[in-house]
Structure 1
Amino acid sequence: MAEKRKVVLAYSGGLDTSVILTWLQEKYDAEVITFTADIGQGEEVEPARAKAQQMGVKSIHIEDLREEFARDYVFPMFRANAIYEGEYLLGTSIARPLIAKRLVEIAKEHGAEYISHGATGKGNDQVRFELGAFALAPNLKTIAPWREWDLTSRETLMAYAKERNIPIDFAKSGKKSPYSMDANLLHISYEGGGLEDPYWEPEEDIWRWTVSPEKAPDAPQYVELSYQAGDIVAIDGVTMTPAEVMIKLNELGGKHGIGRLDLVENRYVGMKSRGCYETPAGTIMLRAHRAIESITLDREVAHLKDELMPRYASLVYNGYWWSPERKMLQVMIDESQAPVNGVVRVKLYKGNVIVAGRKSDNSLFDANIATFEDDRGAYNQKDAEGFIRLNGLRLRIAASKGRKMD
């Protein structure tokens, strides 16, 4: 008998991927290898093993990738201050390249020629997974069930599962959230349901990580973040790993109602999408990182980073993490972070992250020059006259020729 084709499936153990597992076995007569990653979604991943075993899967991979995710993906992205369309901190986007990488590695380990995922044909994730696979294993093929099958709703998935005795917790099916959710160490997102009306305000109980700012503590909390080469290495003097930093900041931010976002974004596939996000740690990290950079980066380096940031953010959002251009940008960004060392003090209060102080041995801030008091000759104010005249030369020439500037 010919050997069955092997497919590595990104498997959560939920309804969608459990149906996909059986569908791959039936449709493609495939040997399915499952991969389940713990990237901080806050749910137990080990039950996926029992479900996969019950469905006849022999090769099951369940991995704790939280530290790798924080260290090699989230932290490098935050060195760039990446934010998409002025608001989105890329919580879903940044998780996909790691999952794609492990899918490819497991496929190589087992000699599989296919990978599979549960991303829909309307979303960005299909692009992110598959572009990652192209970059890392160009000959590997992808099976995307949502682009092939005729199961178009949760009801049809449930019916399929019942017909085939797929192990789903049907007792809880009626209590399922009306939203499509994705979570990891950086964020939790909500789409679908009432959110498909962009004028509809989400109910308070949609939020899972954060209290409402109105119900947050009345007293602010001060937190000190220590930086080395652009990364947070300690909180309030306690040394932590990248994943530990994010867990702690999610806890602190959630307590103070920090990190909620209601956003209409432009998907790469062309449509607009409305979603809500909770990103407590990321919101604090972005504000604090810009604060430490404000005293340690040269002006032109800081401005150049800001100019390149939207391109970097788009590359992450659109699935080009493994592209040569993102890697090139990362080398430059990481080089800029060598002097980004020191401490930032932030005040957390009712949904706000307020920078309350920053200090660094690499600080370029010179109080002797910046002072409004006697600078004892550190800065010759008369020099400003020539500076202004030279920079205004083109304006004076245009005005002398009668050109209107309005």
Structure 2
Amino acid sequence: MDANLMHISYESGVLENPDHHAPDGLYQMTVDPEKAPEEADVIELEFKKGAAVRVTNLTANVSKTNPLDVFVYLNELGGKHSIGRVDLVENRSIGMKSRGIYETPGGTILIEAHTDIEIFTMDREMRRIKRDLDLKFGDQVYKGFWFSPECEFTRKCIALSQESVEGVVTMKLYKGRAYILGRRSELSLYNEELVSMNVQGDYEPTDAGGFIKINSLRLKEYARLRKQQQS
């Protein structure tokens, strides 16, 4: 067992058999989902420049702002509601596969909320690049290259992408899940009038005609070629 603030990982022993169920009492951070409370906790997570700066439990009227306190409290809430359990087979850097069981209660809640506010506030194409950088960053850290030039570059790019990632996400924690209930931000790219079906604005459904025609051109050519090959 390896434990830190972020998570606990369990490997070896009976877990080396990938079909062997985790033994009772293995999990240290999270309760059994069947024993999780029947009453949910509704929380708000506030982000500034991509970082969580406040958690407010609307159900219990508790608020935390210190970064460490925020994370510790999310671990507590996530563990209480059995959030963040993962049982998987992964690929090791040296080439073999191994089975591991992980508990990441606070981290799971943060990732769900951060992803939601990121989509809400970040340009689509920018986020596609950021998503690729997330994978690169995870791989670099996993392999121990934190102090490498490529990892430094990746971190700076990710930090730049978070300039407008600010707002509040409302979530319900219940029986192993962190449900998104809503989000708000003064830096949102969401335009309610633009997407409204009831308000006439600058965008009309007929505007999609040209887009569809251009994008269908290659599909028509592909269909023509396939038909030619099959004849």
* TM-score, normalised relative to structure 1: 0.53
Residues 404 and 214 (structure 1), Cα distance of their counterparts in 2 relative to 1, 3 Å cut: farther
Structure having greater relative contact order (Cα 8 Å, sep ≥ 6): 2
Partners of 1:185 and 1:195 lie apart in 2 by: 23
Structure 1: which 5+ residue stretches go unaligned?
A: 1-180
What is the aligned partner in structure 2 of residue 310 from structure 1? 135
Structure 2: which 5+ residue stretches go unaligned?
A: 57-61
Deviation at 1:286, TM superposition (A): 0.6
Partners of 1:184 and 1:364 lie apart in 2 by: 36
What is the aligned partner in structure 1 of residue 203 from structure 2? 379
Residues 304 and 404 (structure 1), Cα distance of their counterparts in 2 relative to 1, 3 Å cut: farther
Kept in 1: contact 2:193–2:201 (CA 8 A): no
Partners of 1:402 and 1:215 lie apart in 2 by: 56
* TM-score, normalised relative to structure 2: 0.91
Mapped pair 1:207 → 2:27: yes
Deviation at 1:396, TM superposition (A): 2.6
What is the aligned partner in structure 2 of residue 397 from structure 1? 221
Kept in 2: contact 1:368–1:378 (CA 8 A): no
Kept in 2: contact 1:185–1:243 (CA 8 A): no
Residues 399 and 278 (structure 1), Cα distance of their counterparts in 2 relative to 1, 3 Å cut: closer
Q: 2:52 aligns with which of 232, 236, 251?
A: 232
Q: Secondary structure at the match of 2:172?
A: strand
Q: 2:42 aligns with which of 215, 222, 237?
A: 222
Q: Secondary structure at the match of 1:204?
A: coil
What is the aligned partner in structure 2 of residue 192 from structure 1? 12
The ranges of structure 1 where at least 4 consecutive aligned residues each deviate by more than 3 angstroms after the TM superposition are 397-406
Residues 400 and 195 (structure 1), Cα distance of their counterparts in 2 relative to 1, 3 Å cut: closer
Residues 313 and 397 (structure 1), Cα distance of their counterparts in 2 relative to 1, 3 Å cut: same
What is the aligned partner in structure 1 of residue 183 from structure 2? 358
Partners of 2:204 and 2:196 lie apart in 1 by: 13
Residues 193 and 362 (structure 1), Cα distance of their counterparts in 2 relative to 1, 3 Å cut: same
Partners of 1:404 and 1:299 lie apart in 2 by: 38
The percentage of aligned residue pairs carrying the same residue is 46
Partners of 1:299 and 1:273 lie apart in 2 by: 35
1:112-161 deviation per Cα after TM superposition (whole angstroms, max 9, x unaligned): xxxxxxxxxxxxxxxxxxxxxxxxxxxxxxxxxxxxxxxxxxxxxxxxxx
1:197-236 deviation per Cα after TM superposition (whole angstroms, max 9, x unaligned): 1110012201111101111011111010000000000011
1:226-267 deviation per Cα after TM superposition (whole angstroms, max 9, x unaligned): 000000000118352222111010000000011111121111
Deviation at 1:394, TM superposition (A): 2.1
State the Cα RMSD in Å.
1.8
Partners of 2:164 and 2:229 lie apart in 1 by: 41
What is the aligned partner in structure 1 of residue 168 from structure 2? 343
